[in-house]
Each structure stands twice: as C-alpha cells, then as structure tokens.
Amino acid sequence: MPFLETRNLMAFYGDFQALYGIDTTLDAGETIAIIGANAAGKSTYLKAIAGLIHHTADSVLLEGKPIGLLPAADIVKLGIALVPEGRRLFPSLSVEENLMIGGHGRKMSGPWSLERVYSLFPVLKQRRSSAAPTLSGGQQQMAAIGRALMSNPRILLCDEISLGLAPVVIRDIYAALPRIKSEGTSVVLVEQDIAQAIKVADRVYCFQEGRLSLSGRPRELTREQIRRAYFGA
Amino acid sequence: MLILALEMTGWLDALIQGILLGGLYALFAAGLSLIFGVMRLVNLAHGDLIVLAAYAILVLAEGLGLDPFGAALVALPIMFIAGFALQYVLLNRTLGRDLLPPLLVTFGLSIIIQNGLLQIFSADSQRLRSGAIETASIVLGGGIAVGVTPLLTLLSAILVIVILNLVFYQTSLGRAFRATSDDLEVAQLMGIDHRRIFATAMGLAFTVIAIAALYLGLRANFDPTIGPGRLLYAFEAVIIGGVGSFWGTLAGGIVLGLAQTVGARINPEWQILSGHLAFLVVLALKPRGLFPRALD
C-alpha cells in the first residue's frame, strides 16, 4: 500500500476543470517530482492534497484511508505540510513567529524544532526578529520551508520553491533537501525547473493540461520523452 | 487677575475631563478594533451590544445583590461564551469575499437588540448604582477635582489595551489572530481552525464590551436606544487612532474626548459637534489615522 495515493483525482475552479483523473503514488521516504508547463495543474494537485480545493473523498488516500474531504487545518494534523507557491509568509509576523506558527496545529515532537530549522538555514537565525517582508526572496523561501517543517510533517509538499530565485540561491535551498529527506520525510516537489527536479527525485510525473502525460524513474526517461510530455507532441 | 485664573482652571479642567472621557470612548472602541483587526468584520451591533451588556450587569446586580463591579465580574465569562457562540453559530456564516452580508446581519442584530430591550425593560432610563464611589472624587488642588469613576474608567481602558497587546503580541493565540488576519488560506495550512479563532476573538471582544458597559452605566443613564450613538463614537475613535493599533485606539478615544470637552467649554451646545469635527479633521489630514500599522 502506498503511503500517499491520489486516485482519479479531479479538481475544479467553478466550471473550469483543472485536473482530469490524476493517479499518483508516493512511498514512505520517497521523493517525487511533478513537472509540467504553466497551468498544467501542478499547484492544483498540491492544493487538492493539502485540502485547499474540494474534490471527492476517496481521491486522496493516506495509508489507505480517504482524506479527500478533510479541511486544510485537519490535513496538516495528519502530517502533510504544504510550502505554498510564492512563499506566502505572514507579513505582520516576525521570522521566528512565522516559524513558530508552523507548529501551531500539529504539536508533535519530532526531528524539527526552532533550533534545528535555524541550523538548516542559519541566515534565518540572524534575521529571527525581522518582519517577514524585509527578507530577500531566498530567505523568505527558506522561512517558508522552515515553517512547514515546524509541524514535523511526514510528507512535505513543495510548490515551486525555486521560482524567481537566483541560481546560487536555488542551489542553497536544494542543498537542504537531502537533510530533510534524511529524517524520513517524504517529499513531493512541484517544479518548472526540470533539471533541478530530476536531480533529487526518485520518480517523476509530468502533467500536461490537467492530465498525467508521463511517469517514471528519471534515469529511465529520455530527454525526448520528457520534452514531449512537457510541451505536447 | 482672578478672572484669568478662573479661566485657566476651567480650561485645565476641560483637558483633564476630556482625557478621562477618552478612556470611556477607548473602551467602546477596543472591542470594535479587535474584531475588525482579526476578521475585517464591521460589527454594526457593537453599540447595542454594549447597552445589552449594561442591562445584563443591571439584572445580575439586582438579582444577585451585587454591586455593579461584582456583577460585571460575573458577566465577563457569560459574555465571552455569548460572543463565542454568536460568532460560531451566526457571524462566521456571513464572512466571505462579499462585505455586505456581515453588515446586513449585524445591522439586523442591532435592531433586534434595541427592540428586545425596549420590550423587556421599557424605554425608561436606567443606571448602575455603586453607592459612594459614584460621587467620590479626588481633589487635585487649584479648584480641580477628578471623579473616581472617570479615573477608574481611564485606568481600565489602559489596562484593557495593555492586556490586548500582550495577548496579540506575546501569546500563540495572538500569533494565530494575526496570521489569520494576514492570510486566511495559509493560516489553515498551519492547522489553524479559523472559525474557532474568529469565535475566540468575538468572545474576547465581548468581555471588553462588558467592561465598557460597566462604565457606561456608572457614568450616565442608559436606555435601549443609545447603542448606535456609542457605535459612532467607537468608530470615530478606531479611525482617528488608525485601524490595527490598540494604542492608537486609546489615543483616538482621548482625542475624541478632548475635542468634546474643549468644544463644550467654548459653548455647551458644541460638545458633540466638536467631536465629529475633530474626527473629520483627522480623516482629512491623516486618512489612515494617527497611528497606522506599518503594513496594510
């Protein structure tokens, strides 16, 4: 039984259908990457798992149990944390308060604490009292990842964590992933940056216009297959 | 020389009384400020809820044979529960993208409260009686005296603002209040149940309403129709002070109180008018209030 599974996942924004029957699996400790062009439905997929978009009950299963109808506030308590697209730190909270509120709903003891997050991203410790909006883009992304880790998630959902950042900053952020994975956390990465995603992922899913267009292990996929699945034939 | 001295004393007295009156207006405003800050809800029934709470204190005082301070203490937890329930059962359903439903529902609530109170208590004026403390005053010398009740009002207002600031900026509940106010969707991702957070904020606002009601009833007569007038003062104090700042709300209340007593000193008929004029002047010169929050 997979740790997390989506089965025939459909999602709608009003009349607009964003996802058409997505089937994916994630095993414990595994990292999967969801790649695809803009508007392929990648973020919608993560939001549906996190409980921000309504869909049917049995289209998302955690350890075989349907969690599709639970509100977002309950999903995080089950150990699924989302790093949302665009960071979305709380602007009126300091960096440290942003991190601390990450542990608000799930007061689980686990590998992640304020000190551990600060050791993962030391720059956050220096800026701990600063208001969140005064951080650079890269620092904000680190804070957003740290905030999600504070709930000690079993599954970390990352939405475009490299978006709008300089290559050197992206490298720093991706350097943190192995340490997160080494705590046994499963990771779902949504990325437009294929090269970055393929480097860290155990398996890759490619979305195209709300449908699954390709899946497999990175080394088994050819560039041509990925190109086609990404852009369409 | 004597006339000049008397004149000076009169002005000084107006200033002191204005600051003390500001304490009452700050108490009216603090609950409104809290609710607007957390959930962007404009509660049009706020004034009527203060009047309702004053009647509740009256009934508790008479029923239990307590003095108004004791009765208010009993009312605090009851008011918290009432506020929590009102938000959880009714007002949460009105919140969303559209600003109109909460306005309409709280306006309706205001009418229901006024008419309900008229039905039960009639239109007669009531007052909370506290014996000797009502008329007690402290002589400051130079012909100026401060009433104990107005002084307690201001001190209570300051205490309420200090406590609200502590709750908002030093506790995990306050963190959840601010996060929910910042970004409702991401707050839910943190495991925050926004419906409970909103209900807790309303419960807290209702306890502030009970304190405001205590001093409203001690200071002057009240009847079922005076709610909307108190709402107006509360609004003006919040906006003068700047939305989102509790200390600003206290300052706003004091500006309003000062404007009224100074206006009344010039001409007794100008008391109410000068308060409103001060509000308009602040709105024209500093539309975001005297102490706007840095981010908004």
* Residues of chain B neighbouring A131 (CB-CB closer than 8 A): 294-295
Q: In the prediction, which pLDDT does A218 show?
A: 85
The DSSP string of A162-218 is: TTT--HHHHHHHHHHHHHHHTTT-EEEEEES-HHHHHHH-SEEEEEETTEEEEEE-G
Q: Tell me how far apart the alpha carbons of residues B224 and B126 are, in angstroms, rounded to a whole number.
A: 9
Residue A229, min C-alpha distance to chain B (Å): 31
Does residue A224 surpass a pLDDT of 90? no
* CATH numbers and ranges of domains, chain B: 14-285 (1.10.3470)
Of the ranges A200-214, B30-44, B135-149, B167-181, which one carries the lowest mean pLDDT score?
A: B135-149
In which residue are the tokens 């003891």 written?
A109
What is the spatial order of strands in the sheet that A80-83 belongs to?
A80-83, A155-159, A186-191, A31-35, A203-208, A211-216
Chain A residues close to B186, C-beta within 8 Å: 84, 88, 90
ipTM of the complex: 0.91
Binned at pLDDT 50, 70 and 90, residue B294 comes out as: low
pLDDT per residue as tens digits for the range A147-172: 999 999 999 999 999 998 999 999 99
Chain A contacts of B183, Cβ < 8 Å? 88, 90
d(CA A75, CA B19): 50
Q: Which CATH number fits domain A4-87+155-231: 3.40.50.1370, 1.10.390.10, 3.40.50.2300, 3.40.50.300?
A: 3.40.50.300
DSSP state for residue B213 in the 8-state scheme: H
How far is the alpha carbon of B176 from chain A, nearest alpha carbon, in Å?
A: 7
Report how far residue A98's alpha carbon sits from residue A107's, in angstroms, rounded to the nearest whole number: 15
pLDDT for A233 equals 64
Residue of A nearest to B171 (CA): A97
Which is it for strands A60-62 and A65-66: parallel, antiparallel or unpaired? antiparallel
pLDDT in tens, B44-67: 999 999 999 999 999 999 999 999
Query: Is the pLDDT reported for residue A109 higher than 70?
Result: yes
Higher pLDDT, A227 or B186: B186
Q: Do B191 and A104 touch (CB under 8 A)?
A: yes
- Give the number of beta-carbon pairs within 8 Å between A and B: 71
Beta-carbon contacts of B38 under 8 Å, excluding residues fewer than 6 positions away, are B177, B180, B181, B197, B198, B201
- Name the percent of chain B lying above pLDDT 90: 84
Q: How far is B187 from chain A (nearest CA, A)?
A: 8
Give B-chain residues touching A133 at CB under 8 angstroms: 295
Average pLDDT, rounded, for chain A: 91
Q: Could you identify the residue written with the tokens 């034939």?
A: A233
* Closest residue, chain A, to B169 (C-alpha): A93
B175 vs A73: CB contact, 8 Å cut-off?
no
Rounded (to 5) percent helix, strand, coil in chain A = 40, 25, 35
| B82, B21 Cβ separation under 8 angstroms | no
- For residue range B120-130, what is the model confidence (pLDDT) as tens digits? 999 999 999 98
Q: What mean pLDDT, rounded, does chain B reach?
A: 94
Q: Assign B296 a pLDDT band (cuts: 50, 70, 90).
A: very low
Are B291 and B251 within 8 A, CB to CB?
yes
Determine which helix (DSSP H) or strand (DSSP E) holds A6, and give its type and residue range.
strand A4-13
Q: B159-172 in b/e burial notation, b at 16+ Cβ within 10 A?
A: ebbeebeebbeeee
Two tokens at B76? 């605090």
Q: Give the tens place of pLDDT for each residue, B69-100.
A: 999 999 999 999 999 999 999 999 999 888 89
Cβ of B172 under 8 Å from any chain A Cβ? Answer: yes
The structure's pTM equals 0.91
User: With 70 as the cut, is the pLDDT of residue A141 above it?
Assistant: yes
Could B182 and A91 be called an inter-chain contact, meaning their C-beta atoms sit closer than 8 Å?
yes
B150: distance to nearest CA of chain A, Å? 35
Domain boundaries, chain A: 4-87+155-231
Nearest to A88 among B186, B193, B295 (CB): B186
Torsion over CA of A160, A164, A168 and A174, rounded to 10 degrees? -10
Q: Which of A79, A141, A140, A152 is nearest to A114 (CA)?
A: A152
Q: Which of B205, B203, B213, B200 is nearest to B72 (CA)?
A: B213
Residues sharing a CB contact under 8 Å with residue A208, sequence separation 6 or more, in sequence order: A36, A37, A40, A229, A230, A232
Q: Does A129 touch chain B (CB under 8 A)?
A: no
Q: So what's the pLDDT on residue B295?
A: 46
Residue B183 has pLDDT above 50, yes or no: yes
